[in-house]
């Protein structure tokens, strides 16, 4: 290292400073460096560290290499210093010495990660509307954490009370969607809609609106459909995508894009505790399972000088990765029959707790995850290499920390791959073998556990594909279909908004109610696909369907219409003393199919029956 030189005096029996021990290495029998006088020179600064011992040994030293004894292999102190330099940047000699003294005398991690806050909040947008407020009330009654995104704070607090978790924002204005609003949010129910009202005006409690536009001449009130239904949807999806997660996971390392920027890997081997093992990270341009580029972790591991591990570790991410929407990390690797460690850190400090998982590999076989590809599931390889967050152990200097904070996946700072003789708490790796090894890995990504349920439920409208459908008798269609142009192409932009969701990669469910009413829930229902039905349905019923969809894998990635079996001419009432039983909406969800939206009729030019 050009700017840093080290001169040390080492005893024949020496002890490694605590911060220099590896993850997974105990120092009880390790040779230890005893620094009697160490001069660290860098940037024209010199610091003198004196450490006196009551009994001095015969010492051998020379610049660059340190001989532990005649029976031990030489320790490459230059590589040791380069390792420190790589992960910690240009050294400040005084700070380095102070840090070294502090950490040698302290048995605890340099920085204890903060305890993870409870998450799992459902965000409701359009929360003060007819469907949205019912969604909020039901979720709160169920004890589910709820956050509402509204434009009018006064209206929201008068509706839900002063203790509501509330954020002020407007989906039509991206700059108002503060990223802080979405922290801890895991699911979204979106009931935002353009406002339609009577041209002649309405009563203060909107009685005409509640009857439905079948009973008045409608017009758009406020922002136009393009701004609300389409551009607003783009803004909302972009704002929540990182919080709710993607169906196919979040790519952390790979050669088809890298969402956290190019990861910078460096070797971190047992040289930090006096060992001689050595590894490196390379890119093999043709080494992947498809003949494309792959990362390669390779090296030679040795137990000389009481060592026995090699690893590669990323530099700290400039922006922490928030993986709280996911359930673990999966790797696509070509195995060699050995057991490896994946170490995840949530602290910026070098010597701190590592949340550690283990994975076994199969020799000469690519192992990977399941890839969802449109309607099909394509399997590459035969095994899965997944490290669930729930399996990670908090390990510091070879020991588990029983009182360690809960792992916080919202603040990932660095990743590390390790091949080691040691596991933790004195356990040994049963697959460990000294000598050369290599582990090709073509991708690392965060994943969502299967079965996947919707993370984004959207309330749209029946009829969105009908304005341009060939051969359709508009006189028999609902007013919104007939007046689509006059209402600013309201249904056209609702369909465009749906497409934004379907193309986002977020697991979704799109609910298309027929004409909404203020009637109670409980009527028999018809679920359909292809955008062909007309009728009416209760807002209360739609709110319940949205909430049920959040937990149903059968609703995931489905688009469907809903109506009651009660005709418009007949009001639906419920006897308060004998209410209908709650529905199991999964019975309806199970019959739905992916890929049916009603756009098929537009694309094929074939009129569908309505």
Per-residue model confidence (pLDDT) at position 198: 78
**Torsion angles phi and psi, residue 543, rounded to 5:** -60, -45
Pairing of strands 393-396, 399-400: antiparallel
Mean pLDDT of the chain: 80
- Residue 218, beta-bridge partner list: 198
Q: Give pLDDT tens digits for 481-535.
A: 999 999 999 999 999 999 999 999 999 999 999 999 999 999 999 999 999 999 9
Q: N- to C-terminal Cα distance for the chain?
A: 76
Top pLDDT among 523 and 365 is at 523
User: pLDDT-based confidence at 470, cuts 50/70/90?
Assistant: confident
Q: What residues have CB less than 8 Å from 399, skipping those under 6 apart? A: 26, 424, 425
Choose between 517 and 42: higher pLDDT.
517
Q: Encoding tokens for residue 301?
A: 């591991």
Question: Of 69-73, 84-88, 456-460, 531-535, which gets the smallest average pLDDT?
Answer: 69-73
C-beta of residue 465 within 8 angstroms of C-beta of residue 599:
yes
Burial class (CB in 10 A: 0-12, 13-18, 19+), 89: exposed
| Residue 94 scores a pLDDT above 70 | no
400 within 8 A of 299, measured Cβ to Cβ: no
Pick the more confident residue, 444 or 255.
444
> Which of helix, strand or coil describes residue 145?
coil
pLDDT, residue 246, reads: 96
Segment 294-326, tens digit of pLDDT: 999 999 999 999 899 999 999 999 899 999 999
**Cross-sheet strand order for the sheet of 399-400:** 265-267, 309-314, 414-420, 339-345, 354-360, 393-396, 399-400
- Spatial separation of the C-alpha atoms in residues 529 and 593, rounded to whole Å: 8
pLDDT digits (tens, 9 = 90+) for 156-204: 999 999 999 999 999 999 999 999 999 999 999 999 999 887 776 666 6
**pLDDT score of 343 more than 50:** yes
Q: Residue by residue, what is the 3-state secondary structure of 308-339?
A: CEEEEEECCCCCCECCCCCCEEEEEEECCCCE
Q: What is the pLDDT of residues 118-136, one digit of tens each?
A: 458 999 999 999 999 999 9
- Model confidence at 8, in pLDDT bands (50, 70, 90)? very low
If you average pLDDT over residues 61-65, what whole number do you get?
35
Q: Is 409 helix (H, G, I), strand (E, B) or coil?
A: coil
Q: Which residue has the higher pLDDT, 1 or 179?
A: 179
Query: What is the predicted pLDDT for the residue at 288?
Result: 85
* Measured distance CA(411)–CA(413) in Å, rounded: 6
The mean-pLDDT minimum among 72-76, 518-522, 580-584 falls in 72-76
């Amino acid at each position: 290292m050009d700017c840093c030189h080290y001169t040390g005096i080492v005893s024949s029996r020496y002890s490694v400073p605590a911060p220099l021990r590896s993850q997974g290495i105990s120092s009880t029998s390790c040779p230890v460096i005893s620094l009697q006088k160490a001069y660290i020179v860098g940037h024209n600064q010199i610091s003198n560290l004196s450490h006196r011992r009551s009994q001095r040994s015969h010492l051998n030293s020379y610049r660059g290499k340190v001989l532990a004894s005649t029976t031990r292999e030489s320790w490459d102190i230059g590589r040791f210093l380069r390792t420190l330099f790589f992960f910690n940047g240009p050294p400040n000699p005084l700070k380095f010495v102070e840090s070294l003294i502090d950490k040698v005398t302290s048995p605890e991690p340099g920085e204890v990660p903060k305890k993870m806050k409870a998450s799992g909040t459902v965000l409701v947008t359009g929360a003060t509307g007819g469907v949205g407020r019912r969604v909020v009330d039901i979720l709160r009654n169920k004890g589910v954490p709820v956050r509402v995104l509204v434009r009018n704070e006064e209206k929201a607090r008068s509706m839900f009370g002063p203790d509501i978790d509330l954020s002020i924002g407007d989906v039509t204005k991206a700059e108002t969607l503060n990223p802080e609003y979405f922290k801890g949010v895991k699911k979204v129910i979106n009931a935002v809609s353009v406002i339609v009202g009577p041209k002649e005006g309405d009563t203060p409690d909107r009685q005409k609106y509640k009857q439905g536009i079948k009973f008045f001449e409608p017009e758009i009130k406020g922002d136009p459909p393009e701004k609300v239904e389409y551009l607003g949807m783009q803004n909302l999806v972009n704002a929540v995508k990182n919080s709710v997660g993607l169906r196919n996971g979040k790519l952390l390392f790979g050669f088809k894009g890298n969402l956290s920027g190019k990861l910078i890997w460096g070797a971190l081997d047992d040289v930090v505790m006096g060992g001689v093992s050595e590894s490196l990270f390379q890119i093999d341009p043709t080494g992947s399972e498809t003949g494309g580029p792959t990362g390669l972790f390779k090296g030679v591991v040795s137990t000389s000088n009481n060592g026995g591990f090699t690893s590669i570790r990323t530099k700290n991410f400039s922006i922490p990765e928030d993986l709280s929407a996911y359930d673990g990390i999966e790797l696509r690797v070509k195995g060699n029959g050995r057991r490896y460690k994946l170490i995840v850190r949530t602290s910026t400090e070098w010597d701190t707790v590592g949340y550690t998982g283990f994975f076994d590999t199969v020799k000469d076989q690519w192992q990977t995850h399941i890839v969802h590809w449109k309607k099909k599931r394509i399997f590459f390889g035969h095994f899965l290499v997944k490290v669930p967050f729930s399996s990670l152990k908090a390990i510091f200097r070879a020991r588990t920390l029983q009182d360690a904070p809960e792992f916080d996946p919202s603040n990932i700072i660095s990743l590390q791959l390790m091949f080691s003789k040691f596991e933790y708490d004195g356990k040994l790796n049963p697959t460990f073998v000294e000598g050369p090894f290599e582990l090709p890995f073509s991708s690392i990504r965060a994943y969502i556990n299967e079965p996947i349920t919707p993370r984004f439920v959207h309330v749209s409208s029946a009829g969105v594909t009908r304005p341009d459908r060939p051969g359709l008798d508009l006189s028999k269609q609902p007013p919104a279909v007939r007046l689509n142009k006059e209402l600013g192409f309201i249904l056209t932009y609702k369909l465009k908004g749906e497409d934004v969701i379907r193309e986002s990669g977020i697991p979704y469910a799109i609910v298309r109610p027929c004409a909404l009413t203020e009637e109670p829930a409980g009527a028999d229902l018809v679920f359909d696909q292809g955008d062909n039905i007309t009728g009416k349905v209760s807002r209360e019923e739609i709110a319940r369907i949205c909430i049920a969809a959040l937990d149903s894998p059968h609703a995931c990635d489905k688009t469907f219409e809903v109506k009651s079996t009660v005709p418009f001419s007949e009001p639906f009432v419920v006897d308060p003393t004998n209410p209908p039983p709650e529905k199991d909406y999964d019975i309806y969800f199970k019959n739905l199919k992916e890929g049916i939206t009603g756009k098929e009729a537009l694309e094929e030019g074939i009129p569908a029956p309505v």
